């Protein structure tokens, strides 16, 4: 991996390939928090790449899921999307290639810098294709290939617990504890 060097847009496919190559699992469950402005919510997200299935539930009881091309955002009617399209951002973090930030055709961001941070993580800085002062960041776990923190346009999503190699539970009813302090980074 090319660390600590400013990258060009032509480097984007290689960076994505290297992040995808870090993945060591087919299924994952993560608990996390997403904040936008003054509001936040907690969630549990699950993904099984091989089965092309994902589930998510938040602390307000909102559920969304997909099996193959059928995406259900309760209480709405199912919609059809080819996997991995239709994933909420918190599920996309478990499957980084689903994010629209890798400099592919029609995407507004591309990775412009990769750095080591902490003992087990990579910090990727993304630059907007039209405005170099407009940035987003992602912290990727080097042992799982999962994005554990994503900050983009004032929205921040942090995974607080990650389990790999799990069986999915579509009707999971997690307990969400109140957030009483800021979430400390674990890089």
State pLDDT tens for residues 35-49.
998 889 999 999 999
DSSP count for the chain of H helices, then E strands: 2, 11
Mean pLDDT of 65-73: 82
Does residue 181 lie in a domain region? no
Does residue 144 lie in a domain region? yes
The 8-class DSSP code of residue 96 comes to: G
Total domains in the fold of the chain: 1
Does residue 68 lie in a domain region? yes
Beta bridge partners of residue 16, listed in sequence order? none
Does residue 1 lie in a domain region? no
Does residue 182 lie in a domain region? no
List the CATH number of the domain containing 120: 2.50.20.10
Does residue 64 lie in a domain region? yes
| Lowest pLDDT segment from 34-38, 106-110, 129-133 | 34-38
Q: Per residue, what are the HEC states of 95-114?
A: CHHHCCCCCCCCCCEEEEEE
* pLDDT given at position 8: 94
* Of residues 104, 125, 102, the one with CA closest to residue 115: 125
| Residue 97 phi, psi (nearest 5) | -65, -10
Does residue 171 lie in a domain region? no
Domain that holds residue 62: 9-164
* pLDDT given at position 76: 73
Q: Are 91 and 71 in contact (CB under 8 A)?
A: no
Report the sign of the C-alpha dihedral through residues 118, 163, 82, 80, in that order: negative
Asked whether the whole model's pTM tops 0.85, one would answer: yes
Does residue 4 lie in a domain region? no
Residue showing tokens 């993945």: 23
Mean pLDDT of 24-53: 94
């Amino acid at each position: 991996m090319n660390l600590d060097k400013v990258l060009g847009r032509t480097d984007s496919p290689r960076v994505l390939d290297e992040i995808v190559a870090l993945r060591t699992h087919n299924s994952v469950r993560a608990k996390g928090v997403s904040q936008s402005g003054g509001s936040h919510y907690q969630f549990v997200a699950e993904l099984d790449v091989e089965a092309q299935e994902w589930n998510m539930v938040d602390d307000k009881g909102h559920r969304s899921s997909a099996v193959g091309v059928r995406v259900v955002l309760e209480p709405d009617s199912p919609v059809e999307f080819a996997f991995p399209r239709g994933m909420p951002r918190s599920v996309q973090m478990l499957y980084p290639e689903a994010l629209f930030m890798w400099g592919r055709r029609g995407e507004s961001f591309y990775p412009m810098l990769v750095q080591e941070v902490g003992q087990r993580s990579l910090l990727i800085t993304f630059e907007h294709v039209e405005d170099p002062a407009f940035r987003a960041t992602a912290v990727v776990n080097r042992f799982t290939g999962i994005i554990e923190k994503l900050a983009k346009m004032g929205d921040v999503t942090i995974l607080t617990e990650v389990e790999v190699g799990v069986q999915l539970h579509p009707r999971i009813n997690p307990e969400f504890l109140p957030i009483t302090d800021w979430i400390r980074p674990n890089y």
